[in-house]
Structure 1
Amino acid sequence: MPIFGAIGIASTGATVYRKWLDAVSDNIANMNNATDTRSAAFQAHYIQARAVNYGSGTGGVEVAAALRSGNTQGRVVHEPDNPLADADGNVRYPDIDLGEQMTSLIMAQRGYQANLSVVDRARDAYNAALQLGRS
């Protein structure tokens, strides 16, 4: 492993968690976007991660795919006062569960923070090693 391997691996983890945070925040921001019943509902975003050089301990992690949910039907809600309502007074909303998204948000935040902590600790260890070399 290179001397700065811990920082490199932790930074790949932080990048993946940041992209997960972006996807979750996009889902939460769009969960109340109504469309007419003829249009597709907003599709939730999901991030799929994979190990780089699995088993070697030197590759870190990367985003394998940025996926969208397959659910374009969403949920139909009766809101006759909504300007997008059809003749029956219905509009379409995305089928996004706020509880699930908030759970994902907390997990992504904690993972992001953990990876940044690894970077901080590795930097401190490298600085301490440099100080020993100067003595």
Structure 2
Amino acid sequence: MTTFGAIGVAGTGMTVYRKWLDAVSDNLANMNTVRPTDEAAFQARYVLAQQMGGTDGGVQVAGVALGSAEGRLVFEPSHPLADAQGYVRYPDIDMSSQMTQLIMAQRGYQANAAVVDRARETYQAALQIGRG
């Protein structure tokens, strides 16, 4: 693989991890979104990745899977959106799972950024050798 190839592959990885970070942050921001029981709960977003063509092709976002629209019912009779029985609907999002995914996506993004930096440094060193 060439230096430019490494930068390209790492760049595709950074894109996928950035989209994963966006999805996790959206899930965390909406984990306390309350809806009436006759509406669907906020659906968590999960990024699906797939390999691009060939062994040196990198990775791309294949799509987004959505979590359950059923959510979980919580008894909060004083809530303004509560039904006659006193229930409201919350998304079924687990904070600890989302925080774990956030850390994994962050580390993956950092690793790919480090590859881009090292490939750039290698390319610059090669240019310096050519000048000397």
Shared fold (TM-score, shorter chain, > 0.5): yes
1:63 to 55, 61, 64: 61
Percentage of identical aligned residues: 64
Specify the code of the residue in structure 2 equivalent to 1:8: G
- The aligned residue for residue 83 of structure 1 is 80
* Structure-2 separation of matches of 1:63 and 1:121: 25
- The aligned residue for residue 35 of structure 1 is 35
* Structure-1 separation of matches of 2:106 and 2:82: 37
Specify the code of the residue in structure 1 equivalent to 2:14: A
Deviation, structure 1 residue 94: 0.3
Are 1:119 and 2:116 an aligned pair? yes
- The aligned residue for residue 5 of structure 2 is 5
* Structure-1 separation of matches of 2:80 and 2:3: 61
Q: How many residues align?
A: 132
Determine helix, strand or coil for the equivalent of 1:31: coil
Deviation, structure 1 residue 80: 1.1
CA RMSD of aligned residues (A): 1.0
Determine helix, strand or coil for the equivalent of 1:105: helix
1:93 to 73, 90, 94: 90
TM-score, scaled to structure 2: 0.96
Specify the code of the residue in structure 2 equivalent to 1:49: A
- The aligned residue for residue 132 of structure 1 is 129
Whether the 8 Å contact between 2:3 and 2:122 is mirrored in structure 1 is no
Deviation, structure 1 residue 87: 1.0
Are 1:21 and 2:21 an aligned pair? yes
Whether the 8 Å contact between 2:9 and 2:57 is mirrored in structure 1 is yes
* Structure-2 separation of matches of 1:122 and 1:77: 52
- The aligned residue for residue 107 of structure 2 is 110
Deviation, structure 1 residue 57: 2.8
